[in-house]
A and B are shown apart, each in its own frame.
Chain A
C-alpha cells in the first residue's frame, strides 16, 4: 500500500472541516464530555450521605427519646418524626423516606426490663437495595453508639473492632473513581459512536464512489478517518483531564505519558470498532445502533466502571474480557488514584494493544477498494 502525504493531508483536512462545521460533532466531542464528567462526578453519589429516615415514636419514655436523639444527631441521617405508622409507611411507599424506625409504645419499659426483649424495628425500602443497605448500616451505627452511651465510663466498647484505612482515596469520594471511569465512556462515545457514522455517511451520500475512483489508496482512506478522530479524541481527553483535575479536584498520580499511551491504545480499538461497523453496514442508522449496543452500553455496564465485574456471573465475566473498556477503566482508575502500578498497568496495556491491533486490522482488511467488497 503506497501512501501519498499530499493526498492524506487533503483527506484529513476535509474530515476536519466536516467535524468543525457540524454542530453535532462538536456537541458530542466537547460539550457532552464536560456535561457527563460533571454529572458523573456530582450526580452519582453512591454513598447515600444523609438518607431520609422516618421515625415513628409511639413511646414517650426516656430510652426511646434518647435513641431518637442519637438518630437525629447522626450526620448521615435526615430524620422526620411522626407518631402514625400508617403515614410513615405511606411515605416509604412513595419514596419520600428510605427507611422507617419504629419504637413501639412499650419500648422504654422493655429496655428497662432488660434480657434483650426490647426491639427497635427498622423498615427499609427494598426497592432501592443499595440505599437500603446504607440505611441499615447507618442505623446500626447509631444503635451501637446508643448502646455505648448508655454505659457511661466505658470509653471503648469491649470486644473486637475493625479499623478501616482506605488507600488511594482516604475520604472515599466516589468522584475520584467515577470520573476516571466516565472518561472511558466519553472516549468510547468519540471513538466508536461518532466514527460509526463517518464511513456510512460517505456511502449514503455517494461521496465514496467518487473517492474510490481517484488515486486514493486503502491506507490513505483508512488513515484519513483515523487521524482526525484520534486527534479529536485526544483533544477531548486533554480537556477531560484538565476539568477533572483542576475543576473537580480528582487526583492524577500517574504520569501523563502513560495516560497518553493508554488512551491512544484504547482509542485505537474504539476507532477500529466504529469504523468497522460503518464500513461493513454502509448505513448510518444501522451502524449507529450497533455502535450503541456493541460499544457504548458495554462501556457502561461491563467495564467495571460502576458495576463490579467480580460480582457478575462467570458467563458475563467472560464477556467482559472482550470489552476493551474494561482494561481502559482499570488502567485509568489506577493511574488517576494510585499512580504507576506496573503489574496492573502492563496487563491492561497488553490487552489494549491486542484489542487495538485486532479491530484496526479487521477494519483495514474490510476497507474496500471497490464497490463490491474488497
Chain B
C-alpha cells in the first residue's frame, strides 16, 4: 500500500509542478515576500522627522538639537518658529514628534536648576510615536546626566541576549519562515481536494481501492512537503542572505516544520471537508489564516492579549511554531526546549486530522 500512497503524492506533486504558471505561483510569492517583508516589517523608527521649536538659542540648546539630529531616528530636523507651527506639522503628519525647548533652557541648565521641555506627539500612530519619544528621551537624559555632577548610585547595564543589537530582521525572518509556509501549505491542501470535487475525479478515487485514510494522506503529505520546501528556502535565505544567526540544529528545524505542516494540513483538510467548491475552500482558508497570523505573536506578543484571545492563540499552530523557529534560530533551542511547543502542535494536528477524517467520511457518503 506504500506504493499507492506514493502514487497519490506523485500525482499531487505533478499537478503542482507541471505548468510553469503553477511553479511560479509556488515560488514567486515566497521570493517577493522574502525581498520586501524583512525590510518592511519593522517596528523600529528610522528616518523620521523631528520638529524643534527652539525658543532658547543658547549653546546648550543648540548642542541638544545637534545630538537629536545625530540619531538614526531623526536624520531630518525641522526648525520651527512658533507654537502654531508645532501644531501644524503634527496635524499634517510632517513630523512624528515636535519638541519645544523653553527660553531659559541654557541658563537654567548651567545653574543646575531643573527645566522642562515640551514634546507634542502624533497619537494617530501612537506606537511609532512612543518609540520615537523613547529615543528622544534617551538622548535628553543622556545629555542631562552628563551635565549633572552627581553620580548615580548604581549603573543600569542592559544586555540584550540572543540579539545584542536588537536587529529587527533577526526577529522578522524566523517568523516569516512560519508565516509564508502557512499560506502555501494551506492553499495546496484545502484547494486541491475542492478541485477534485469540482472536476469529478473525487468519485473516481472513491470507487478505487483507496480508503479514505489513504486519500487524505495523499492530500496531506504534498502539503507538508510544500511547507517544508518553502520553509527551507526562507530559512536558507535568512542565514545566508540576511545573516541571521542559526544556533540550533537543522534536524530539529525540519522535525518541527513537519509537525507544523501536519497541524496545518489538519486545518486545510478540515476546511476542504467543509467546503463544496474551490471558492469556499479559498475563502475558508483565508478566514482561518488572517486571524491565525495576527494572533500568532508575530505582530504583538501573545502575553499582552486579553485572556480569551490568549486561549485562541493556544490552539493557533502558528503561535507555537513561531516560538520554536525563533528559538532554534536565536536561542539555541534543543529538543527539550522545543518540546513544550511541539506537543501542542501534535495535539492540534491529531484533533484536526481526526475531525477532518470524520467529516470526510460523512461527506464521501
Instruction: State yes or no: do A and B touch (Cβ within 8 Å).
Output: yes
Assuming A168-B123, A297-B33, is B284 touching A27 (CB within 8 A)? yes
Bound-state CA distance A140–B145 (Å) is 14
B25 CB contacts on chain A under 8 angstroms: 286, 289
Assuming A45-B305, A301-B36, is B171 touching A128 (CB within 8 A)? yes
Taking the complex as formed, is A247 at the interface, i.e. its CB lies under 8 A from any CB of chain B? no
Contacts A39-B295, A40-B294, A304-B125 known; 8 new A-B pairs at CB < 8 A: A42-B306, A42-B309, A43-B295, A121-B159, A136-B158, A159-B145, A162-B133, A194-B283
Taking the complex as formed, is B241 at the interface, i.e. its CB lies under 8 A from any CB of chain A? no
Asked whether B43 lies within 8 Å of A159 as measured between CB atoms, the reply is no
Taking the complex as formed, is B242 at the interface, i.e. its CB lies under 8 A from any CB of chain A? no
Taking the complex as formed, is B362 at the interface, i.e. its CB lies under 8 A from any CB of chain A? no
Assuming A129-B167, A173-B126, A307-B43, is B109 touching A159 (CB within 8 A)? yes
Asked whether B162 lies within 8 Å of A27 as measured between CB atoms, the reply is no
Contact residues of B with A, CB < 8 Å? 21-22, 25, 28-29, 32-33, 36-37, 39-49, 90-93, 96, 99, 105, 109, 112-131, 133-134, 136-137, 140-141, 143-145, 147-148, 150-164, 166-168, 170-171, 183, 187, 191, 195, 275, 278-280, 282-284, 286-287, 290-291, 294-295, 299-301, 303-306, 309, 323, 326-327, 330-333, 337, 340
Q: Assign chain A's interface to a size class.
A: 35 or more
Name A193's closest neighbour in chain B (CB-CB): B286
Report which of B90, B160, B283, B333 forms a contact with A126, defined as CB distance below 8 A.
Answer: B160
Q: What are the interface flags for A16-31 relative to B under an 8 Å C-beta threshold, 1 for contact and 0 otherwise?
A: 0000001111011001
Asked whether A159 lies within 8 Å of B123 as measured between CB atoms, the reply is no
Bound-state CA distance A185–B299 (Å) is 15
B45 CB contacts on chain A under 8 angstroms: 308, 310-311
Asked whether A92 lies within 8 Å of B161 as measured between CB atoms, the reply is yes
Contact residues of A with B, CB < 8 Å? 22-25, 27-28, 31-32, 35-36, 39-40, 42-49, 51-52, 63, 67, 92-95, 98, 107, 110-111, 114-116, 118-133, 136-137, 139-140, 143, 147, 150, 156-170, 172-174, 176-177, 185, 189, 193-194, 197, 201, 284-286, 288-289, 292-293, 297, 301-302, 304, 306-308, 310-313, 315-316, 319, 330, 333-334, 337-338, 341, 343-344
Name A136's closest neighbour in chain B (CB-CB): B158
A-B residue pairs, 9 tightest by C-beta:
A126-B163, A169-B123, A118-B154, A159-B144, A126-B160, A45-B304, A160-B144, A166-B123, A24-B283
Asked whether A170 lies within 8 Å of B294 as measured between CB atoms, the reply is no
Bound-state CA distance A124–B162 (Å) is 9
A173 CB contacts on chain B under 8 angstroms: 126
A337 CB contacts on chain B under 8 angstroms: 123-124
Q: List 22 A-B contacts (CB under 8 A).
A: A28-B287, A35-B291, A42-B305, A45-B304, A47-B130, A63-B153, A93-B337, A94-B340, A115-B151, A119-B156, A123-B159, A125-B161, A126-B170, A127-B170, A127-B171, A143-B154, A167-B90, A168-B124, A173-B126, A297-B33, A307-B42, A316-B36
Asked whether B124 lies within 8 Å of A338 as measured between CB atoms, the reply is yes
